[in-house]
Structure 1
Amino acid sequence: MAAAAAAAAVSVTASSSDAPNGKATDLRSTFEQVYNHLKSELLEDSDFDFTDDSRQWIERMLDHNVPGGKLNRGLSVVDSYRLLRQGMEISTDEVFLGCVLVITHLSLSWQDLQLQAYFLVLDDIMDGSLTRRGQPCWFRVPKVGFIAVNDGVLLRNHIPRILKRHFREKPYYVDLLDLFNEVEFQTASGQMLDLITTHEGEKDLSKYKMPVYRRIVQYKTAYYSFYLPVACALVMSGENLENFINVKNILIDMGTYFQVQDDYLDCFGDPQVIGKIGTDIEDFKCSWLVVQALERADENEKKILSENYGKPGSEHVASVKTLYKDLELQAVFLKYERESYEQLTASIIALPSKSVQEVLKSFLGKIYKRQK
């Protein structure tokens, strides 16, 4: 391990979810140190002859897209590994490698965030989004525009370079590569389903049904947001993922629940709290709310949806939100949230491994009744 990497590492013994605020702050500080080290590696990559302008661009792009947000995915990798190792101390010595008793595996945690950044940069372009994590989407930053497409490709290419540099000597290296490639394929396929459910210029609400919605969410969100962090921790713990199909299914259900929350907050959440301006209504998204509305609406209410959903303008958005309130979708969501939590909890308790139970309980605890 490089001396600079070792110097950046600090000992992490507490999880972000159950530690006092000071410990959680220390963990985030460690993430930031590791991020800065990985960024310096990327900016000095010997396979590209950087100019001053290109190095400044990459640094600015990375800083804008990678380290922001709640760090849930990265912290979940750390938490999952700690819980699977039954609370044993995670040492500083292999902070970039992520395995065997002496691990913080923050490199892989940031790697997971790198994958997320790649997805979000391209997703924001495809959705025409305005803000992300409380700041303008990268493609809306002055002088960026559709250069962001290539930046998304660069973010994707950083992934195998980091993995190769820090994990290639590990016995699970190939499994790790396979895992990232598999999840990337599933996520891109889910995005494709989302985009083609109603093609540009076509407004066909009849396609928006719950099986369609669940399939989009499963592939677009659940695999990379929920399955990937836990699968990384399992692989690094020497486990065969084929033995954890029930765990995978629970995480997919958890990811679906998370996306339903996201859809609800897109409409009813405070942009100052959630860090973005919701645009699902204007974008004609196959959202959980519109699917629920279509299941409950009479012919007149469906007409209101047809005339206003997917159209820009505050008056159209207001009409849809008023209809959602008339159909009491806020109460429908609260009922769904409660029942989902109870069902997920029962499924987790039924698992034979106590350590895996703790991993999933920790994951569920972070998202239940979240406000952002």
Structure 2
Amino acid sequence: MFSYISKRSLNPTLIGKLFKTPPHRRLTKNVGIPCTANPIHANSKYTFETIERSFSTLDIQSAPSTAKLTMSEEEIRGLMSVFPDIVQDLVETTRRYEAHDLAEWYKKALEYNLPLTNKKNGLITVLAYKSYVKGEELTPEKLKLARILAWCVELSHCVLFLTDDMTDKSTTRRGRTCWYKLDGVGVNAVNDALLFENGIFELLRKHFRHLDCYTDLFEVYFECMFMNISGQATDGIISRRPVSTFDMDVCFSIIRNKSSSNFFYLPAAVGLLLAGVKDHKIFDECKAITFELGEYAQILNDYLDSFGNPDFTGKIGTDIQANKCSWLVVKCLELATPEQRAIMEECYGQEDPQKIARVRALYEEMGMPRVFAEFEEEKYKTIKRKIDQTSVPELYDVFMEILNHVSKRGVK
């Protein structure tokens, strides 16, 4: 999913690589840095590319890694070691239903798409689990179960990416051609997304049905995935409306459902459930903070859609021509003069390259990079303060690791 740089220590050469606009036009102002949950209701043949990249406006020094539980390379290797088992389990499912012709296709789809997800979101599951299960209690068997749950999280993200790429007409995902754009795939990607989604519940049934948390795991996956689908659907509905109707209420409704539930709350919640946590207050606190982190990550993603370098983000931004109700366009409309609003209404949501370029130029003219930087500074401080004051100290390291991860651009 998704290291940042600050306006305090801007390196013109680095900025020129990271962003599409010239350094002299980039950020010049100095900066520093709910719903309730219901817990009741290394040596693999596969390789995964990890790209560290700086996108944020925050000073890399302002988000030191203080967490004891970290998304380390060792943790990633541990997660990857389970990947062959995940593929084998899911492919064997098709054979159990005598869908023999599907087996090879399913294997190909899994091996192409799952490596494109951000394994660090799945690692949140492992870290949340380790926050409560430690020492001799943390057996290899239990740790493997946590990693299987982490891959269920990654599968849920695959569902999002497969459908999102199609609706947004994207061409690349993390530097590789989108699945639906490959020869022989096309609209069949919709069915593949359904296979991935149902694969989650096949894995849960195989590995967790003997545990007390089995029903709770199902319910939290259903809850978060329904929220995600609701956000996706709302995003599509709103994108068919005139840009003049966009506002922050709608924007944040999309963000909360589409991103906040799935990115950070889901992986943390399933890790807690596996660890045997049942206190509703812990889930409430987890949801409150992870939803804030999800908002931060999605708004950053909205910003990078227009101001990120595709060589580093791994995808070409499409929000402008797709008429997306993103944080960036809504904030632009809030600050625009009547003349600037007229330009947005004429050019936003159009496929014409000149109109797309005009919107991007308007963002620059209005100083949207500076506006985002000021927002990011305040958002970071707000989240950091909430983490420092958390009523669940067991999750402090997990929350801080996610915050450091987002502020170094590890999502999406």
| Structure 1 and Structure 2 fold alike (TM over 0.5) | yes
Residues 1:40 and 2:110 are matched in the alignment: no
Which one of 291, 303, 307 corresponds to residue 342 of structure 2?
A: 303
Question: Where does residue 3 of structure 1 map in the other structure?
Answer: none
Q: Which AA in structure 2 matches 1:115?
A: S
Q: Is the 8 A contact 1:282 1:311 kept in 2?
A: yes
Task: Quickly say closer, same or farther: Cα 1:69–1:161, change in 2 above 3 A.
Answer: closer
Report the Cα offset of residue 85 of structure 1. Answer: 3.7
Aligned-CA RMSD value: 2.3
Residues 1:159 and 2:200 are matched in the alignment: yes
Task: List aligned pairs for 1:292-371, cutoff 5 A.
Answer: 292-370=331-409
Q: Which AA in structure 2 matches 1:221?
A: S
SS of residue in 2 equivalent to 1:145: coil
Report the Cα offset of residue 369 of structure 1. Answer: 4.3
Distance in 1, matches of 2:76 and 2:389, equals 33
CA-to-aligned-CA distance 1:131-173 (integer Å, 9 cap, x gap) = 1121111111111000111111111111110001001111111
Q: Percent identity?
A: 32
Report the Cα offset of residue 207 of structure 1. Answer: 2.0
Q: Is the 8 A contact 1:84 1:359 kept in 2?
A: no
Residues 1:282 and 2:331 are matched in the alignment: no
Aligned pair count reads 346
Distance in 1, matches of 2:67 and 2:376, equals 26
Q: Which AA in structure 2 matches 1:227?
A: Y
CA-to-aligned-CA distance 1:14-54 (integer Å, 9 cap, x gap) = xxx7899xx93333233222111111121122432243x52
TM-score by length of 2: 0.79
Residues 1:232 and 2:270 are matched in the alignment: yes
Task: Quickly say closer, same or farther: Cα 1:362–1:19, change in 2 above 3 A.
Answer: closer
Q: Is the 8 A contact 2:216 2:273 kept in 1?
A: yes
TM-score by length of 1: 0.87
Task: Quickly say closer, same or farther: Cα 1:227–1:296, change in 2 above 3 A.
Answer: same
Residues 1:58 and 2:106 are matched in the alignment: yes
CA-to-aligned-CA distance 1:292-329 (integer Å, 9 cap, x gap) = 11001111111111121111132222111110011111
Task: Quickly say closer, same or farther: Cα 1:220–1:88, change in 2 above 3 A.
Answer: farther
> Unmatched 5+ residue regions in structure 1?
1-6, 9-16, 98-104
Residues 1:117 and 2:165 are matched in the alignment: no
Which one of 172, 192, 196 corresponds to residue 131 of structure 1?
A: 172
Question: Where does residue 262 of structure 1 map in the other structure?
Answer: 301
Which one of 30, 34, 38 corresponds to residue 78 of structure 2?
A: 30
Task: Quickly say closer, same or farther: Cα 1:371–1:27, change in 2 above 3 A.
Answer: closer
> Unmatched 5+ residue regions in structure 2?
1-42, 45-64
Question: Where does residue 250 of structure 1 map in the other structure?
Answer: 289
Task: Quickly say closer, same or farther: Cα 1:299–1:241, change in 2 above 3 A.
Answer: farther
Q: Is the 8 A contact 1:274 1:371 kept in 2?
A: no
